[in-house]
Chains A and B, each alone.
Chain A
Amino acid sequence: MDETLDIWFAEEILVHEAALVRYLGRVWPRSDEIADLRQEIYVKVYEAAAKSRPQSPKSFLFTTARHLLTDRQRRARIVSIEAVGDPDAFNVLIDEISPEQQMSARQELKRLAEAFDRLPERCREVVWLRRVQEMSQKEVAAQLGITEKTVEKQIAKGARVIADYVYGAAAAQSAGSVGAKSLHAGSGDER
């Protein structure tokens, strides 16, 4: 398939994941549905972009999100009025959505390191050896005395945790402290 589309999607859409998830969290009352909503929005954006790339990817992403929510809400209303959020909330102007601060390379690195430290011990070892020390999965297995199948499983697990952090959603959901943290990052967060 179209490799450039995949790259475009990663660089123009996925970078807004933290903002998107924040937006969804604010306007959609059922937090357990957010992952599904996000996926659905991504699918719509990706399919539309396959036909023609939108001029402003970020606006397009949020417009798609808003349409989807409105649509969902219409269907949901039949079930329960309480279940959905305030319809006006969807009509947020793109500019009002807290613009994703351009993360400095250092902040990105810091987030990555945080993600890495969140991994369970075994998983963390596997990811380090595979990704940083560039051992093959086979070599990682030999080094740690585990099966290659286990290595593969740990990598699958590690990739998911890291993705949540790289795109900032995990950090955005877990606490509002992310902003504060990155403020300190530039001025020496050593102690």
Chain B
Amino acid sequence: MSDSTRIERDAAAWLARRDADGWSQTEQAQLDAWLQADTAHRVAYIRLRHAWQQADRLKALGAGVPAGQIPAKGEWTLSPFVNRGASNEETAASNAAPPSRVAGAARRRERERHASRRRSLRAKFAAVAACFALIVALGFGWFRYSAVQSAIYSTPLSATESVALSDGSQATLSSDSRVTTTMSRHERHIELQQGEAYFEVAKDAARPFVVAAGERRVVAVGTRFSVRRESDGIRVVVTEGVVRLVSSAGAPAQSDLRLPAGSVAFSGKDGVSVQSLAVDKAEEYLSWRGGFIQFRDTPLSEAAAEFNRYNARKIVVADARAGAVRVGGHFRWSNTDAFVRLLKEGFSIRAEQEGDRIVLHSE
């Protein structure tokens, strides 16, 4: 072993001991003596200590990873931020640690997560009573010789809501969204007036399930998909079965587009673009249902717009250079602050609070 390797090994051993619990004055004296014995000891120690301190920046990658859990290798080579998938949560749950303060904290967080799941489940039933301001207007009438039921559902900013529709389907509304439903004997007609909604459609071959958003309609029989309105078009994400995208009510049949599971389609003025992804990748577009949004190599300008869909406090990207920065990762959409903090740490982004806005500048 070369001289420098031996010294480095010793320095590392000192560093680790210094880092351990119950560092005593005697040990400190021993370390001081070792450091003073040779400048080579000192420089080796400084070098390792400084790097070890730097490793603290791994925290920027650890945001969102639950306590007591270690992200899989390479998870962040995709992005500077960690993608936290469902599989990780399972690991955390099975990591039943022996009782310790930290394990307690891990369990607490785990409990909180379960609690929030339970909350969202309860909310499905108790939403009307709760402060989520879910408006349900039920009307009964006669239409086309058959019973028609209509309802309006809406969510305020920063809330999502799941509602059971009268046909047995389930709709999950994203933040600041609004749908009206009209259930007749021949058709289940949903009007997405604003925002985004995810539908789990109950099978009923006799009554197609039609979601209309502006000039486009998405037609399904029994499947799972989401429709979202954007300023210049609509986005459709299909996670099960097949839906048909129809350009407008009564449009010619050739404009129909079949979208199988895994499709992410954007339909705008200039036509339709479709990405075919693995279903689990397509699901990422729907992680808002669990309180998250996910980015992959997404320009910051888009990521900011995404956050703004969910929050009253808006992120404003001040210059094009900042807007072009690519971000990736899995974020809780309610936690704008954490996102902004990570931008500051991981990128050369400066953030200023201006009243109810967070303004981002490149440095």
Contact = CB atoms under 8 A, between A and B. Distances in A.
8 contacts: A36-B4, A116-B58, A128-B70, A128-B71, A139-B100, A142-B102, A160-B9, A163-B52
A145 B60 CA distance: 27
B52 A9 contact: no
Interface residues on B, range: 35 or more
Interface string B313-324: 000000000000
A171 B58 CA distance: 18
If over half of A's interface residues share one DSSP class (helix, strand or loop), that class is named, otherwise mixed; here it is helix
B296 A190 contact: yes
A136 interface: yes
Contact of A47 (B5, B39, B48, B80): B39
Contact of A117 (B21, B74, B97, B98): B74
B80 to A, nearest CB: 5
Given A1-B35, A42-B43, A43-B39, A187 B326 contact: yes
A39 B44 contact: yes
Nearest to A157: B12
Contacts of B347: 104-106
Contact of A160 (B3, B8, B42, B58): B8
Interface residues on A, range: 35 or more
Nearest to A117: B73
Interface stretch (B61-69, B169-177, B220-228, B264-272): B61-69
Interface string A150-191: 011101111110110011000000000000000000011111
B40 A39 contact: yes
Given A159-B16, A162-B51, A143 B59 contact: no
A95 B37 CA distance: 36
B215 interface: no
A137 B43 contact: no
B26 interface: no
Contacts of B48: 159-160, 163
B241 interface: no
A104 B43 CA distance: 26
Given A9-B46, A105-B348, A153 B16 contact: yes
Contact of A112 (B8, B55, B100, B328): B55
A132 B4 contact: no
A61 to B, nearest CB: 12
A22 to B, nearest CB: 17
Interface in A91-150: 104-106, 108-110, 112-114, 116-117, 124-125, 127-133, 135-139, 142-143, 145, 148
A190 B296 CA distance: 7
B278 interface: no
Contacts of B52: 131, 159, 162-163
B58 A131 contact: yes
Contact of A113 (B39, B51, B77): B77
B102 A133 contact: yes
Contacts of B50: 10, 14, 163, 166
A155 B21 contact: no
Contacts, number: 182
Contacts of A135: 102
Contacts of B56: 131-132
A38 B15 contact: no
Interface string B133-159: 000000000000000000000000000
A14 B50 CA distance: 9
A99 to B, nearest CB: 19
Contacts of B25: none
B97 A142 contact: yes
Given A35-B2, A127-B58, A159-B16, 10 more contacts: A1-B42, A14-B46, A43-B39, A104-B348, A105-B347, A108-B54, A143-B103, A156-B15, A159-B52, A159-B55
Contacts of B5: 35
A6 interface: yes
Given A1-B42, A36-B2, A190-B78, A167 B102 contact: no
Given A109-B80, A130-B19, A132-B59, A38 B4 contact: yes
A32 interface: yes
Contacts of B70: 124-125, 128-129
Contacts of A152: 13, 16-17, 19-20
B168 interface: no
Interface in B312-346: 326, 328, 345-346
A132 B65 CA distance: 10
A159 B21 contact: no
B12 A143 contact: no
A31 to B, nearest CB: 12
